[in-house]
Structure 1
Amino acid sequence: MTTLKAGDNFPEGVTFTYVPYTPELAGVTACGVPVKYDASKEVKDKKVVIVSVPGAFTPTCQNTHIQGYIEKLPQLKAAGVDQVIVISYNDAWVQAAWAKANGIKDEIIFASDDGAPFSSSIGWTLGPRTARYAIVVDHGKVVYAEKEPDKGVTVSGVDAVLAKL
């Protein structure tokens, strides 16, 4: 278990799963086939924000945490962010439904750290679930990595991330 910090290389072997958006599966109850997202490969040539929450559709995650990223996506893009990935302990189908319920098509990837293998590997879990944290990776280098010290959204919220870009 190694906690990530600014200056570290993003670890190898990190994958998530997600259901890519397609128009024919746009309904919240439509189920696509999950695919692997090779995070270790994808972050090597992009600036990526990984936002982790304990669970989809939960009050703080939905109303306080993720809404900021949805609303301020243009500012993130203007600051050079190529991709925002929202991960949680939930499986890829729940994450896909959560994205659709928020009107997200492919602007943000809602992926699963199913069983929390990545979050566990960096020691950032809440029991069996993913903890609330944010990581910014710029071309393979971690430039920001903070886990919430308590309940609430401070160091992992969009404003904290934007301030570090």
Structure 2
Amino acid sequence: MSVLEVGDNFPGNVSFGYIPLTPDSEEITSCGIPTKFDASETFKNKKVVLVAVPGAFTPTCQANHLPGFIQNIEALKAKGVEQVVVIASNDPFVMSAWGKANYTKDDFIIFASDSELAFSKAIGWTMGDRTARYAIAIDHGKVIYAAKETERGVDVSGADAVLAKL
């Protein structure tokens, strides 16, 4: 696998670690049970935005990157987006807690783990031992936007940039 570009099919066999939000696991201190989120299968049937950040709870990710997607849920839905999947190299427990800390209450935005950077390494978008900061929009299995940040900060992978390309 190599860098994804507009027009490419989203690759097969891509999965992430994920803890579904349930009534029993709503509290930030509840752990839940990690399960496999089959991204390839899910992305075949939906319009989704995959957002990668270097780390949950890190300054730029928490203060500048994630808030744009949370604040633009209705705008994303208006563009036909059915789900936003936020990934990082953190484990599923940390990603679940990050989602809860940001008051996500349903599965429109889910927080998943790119364990051992399997996906990010496969497309060549890592930052040392972390996922790089990037966004990929997929419409029923086809990549319609893919951009990785080349500088510090949030520009091409933020909600505004993604919305402009949908």
User: Is TM more than 0.5 here?
Assistant: yes
1:125 aligned partner: 126
RMSD over aligned Cα atoms = 0.7
1:143 aligns with 2:147: no
1:5 is matched with 5
Confirm or deny that 1:28 pairs with 2:18.
Answer: no
Q: CA deviation at 1:40?
A: 0.5
Count, aligned residues? 165
- Aligned runs of 1:35-114 on 2, under 5 Å? 35-106=35-106, 107-114=108-115
* TM-superposition CA deviations, 1:3-56 (whole Å, max 9, x none): 001010000110001100011211111100011110000011110100000000
**TM-score, L = length of structure 2:** 0.98
Give the deviation of 1:139 after TM superposition: 0.6
Structure 1 residue runs of 4 or more that deviate by more than 2 Å after TM superposition: none
SS in 1 for 2:90: coil
1:147 Cα shift? 0.3
Cα distance in 2 for residues equivalent to 1:130 and 1:120: 8
Instruction: Report the AA paired with residue 143 of structure 2.
Output: V
Separation of aligned partners in 1, 2:153 and 2:117? 20
Instruction: Please give the TM-score of this superposition, normalised by the length of structure 1.
Output: 0.98
> Mind listing any 5+ residue stretches in structure 1 that lack a counterpart?
none
**Equivalent position SS for 1:48:** strand
Secondary structure in 1 aligned to 2:48? strand
Percentage of matched positions with identical amino acids: 61
